[in-house]
């Protein structure tokens, strides 16, 4: 089956990389993700990826415990670079050419993020992992994903989660939570649903950027979403 999208931005949380341990990097988990990304790449899809860093360090949580917020956020950005280098390793082990580009320059380990260069890498069918968030404190990696998707001209953001899509509540805690196969950006904001932070959702809404939220824990779901199958929750301008 052909791909529905030509260029995607995949958002992966650090918690997904941690697996059952809840912290650090679970190598079988990240290797499995690399395999799924390779399958999508084989369709000719151009892939950008933004990773969180919560499996290593959560800046907001550290700030809540009394650490300086700016310093904590920069530490969180460094954690995303560690995750990005790890994913690069597993992708290239599978024969997928990959570039890590960081919003904070660190020339010895990765390239600086330059929009035109990132787009050129995508056009050459290299997977581009966009690390260090936006490079600024007080912004989440969800906002970074929305910003980078818009900047690089992605057709869609694919937000990988551990549940089947967007619900009215946390389905892992509330068995009565309602699943939404489709929902509007505005409805997410009005309901206060914890899909992405409000800045990220507003960026998507203002730029009419589609968002698909799906369960990456189910093998093959990423490929199905890219092929346009009815997996997860689709977010757009108005409910269907």
Binding site residue list for ATP: 11-14, 54, 58, 161, 167, 170
8 A C-beta contact, residue 31 and residue 38? no
- Is residue 37 within 8 Å of residue 184, measured between CB atoms? no
d(CA 72, CA 98): 28
Q: Quick one: tokens of 203?
A: 């960026």
Question: Residue positions in the annotated binding site for UMP?
Answer: 53, 73, 134-141
Those residues whose C-beta lies under 8 Å from the C-beta of residue 143, and which sit 6 or more positions away, are 133, 134, 196, 197, 199, 200, 203
Q: What residues are designated binding site?
A: 11-14, 53-54, 58, 73, 134-141, 161, 167, 170
Short-list 186, 184, 120, 198, CA closest to 152? 120
For strand 98-102 and strand 127-131, is the pairing parallel, antiparallel, or unpaired?
A: parallel
Which tokens go with 95? 């024969």
3 state DSSP class of 98:
strand
């Amino acid at each position: 089956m052909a791909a529905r999208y030509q260029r995607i931005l995949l958002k992966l949380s650090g918690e997904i990389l941690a697996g059952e341990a809840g912290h650090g990097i679970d190598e079988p988990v990240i290797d499995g993700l690399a395999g799924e990304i390779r399958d999508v790449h084989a369709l000719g899809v151009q892939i950008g990826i933004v990773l969180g860093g919560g499996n290593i360090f959560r800046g907001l949580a550290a700030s809540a415990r009394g650490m300086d917020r700016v310093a904590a956020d920069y530490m969180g950005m460094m954690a995303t670079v560690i995750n990005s280098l790890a994913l690069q390793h597993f992708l290239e082990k599978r024969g997928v050419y990959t570039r890590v580009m960081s919003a904070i320059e660190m020339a010895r380990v990765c390239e600086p993020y330059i929009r035109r260069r990132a787009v050129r890498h995508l056009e050459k069918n290299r997977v581009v992992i966009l690390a260090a968030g936006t490079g600024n404190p007080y912004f989440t990696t969800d906002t970074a994903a929305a910003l980078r998707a818009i900047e690089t001209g992605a057709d869609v953001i694919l937000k990988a989660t551990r549940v089947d899509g967007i619900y009215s509540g946390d389905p892992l805690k509330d068995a009565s939570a309602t699943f939404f196969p489709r929902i509007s950006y505005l409805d997410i904001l009005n309901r206060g649903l914890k899909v992405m932070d409000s800045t990220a959702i507003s960026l998507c809404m203002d730029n009419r950027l589609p968002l698909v939220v799906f369960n990456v824990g189910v093998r093959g779901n990423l490929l199905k979403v890219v092929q346009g199958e009815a997996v997860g929750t689709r977010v757009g301008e108005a409910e269907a």
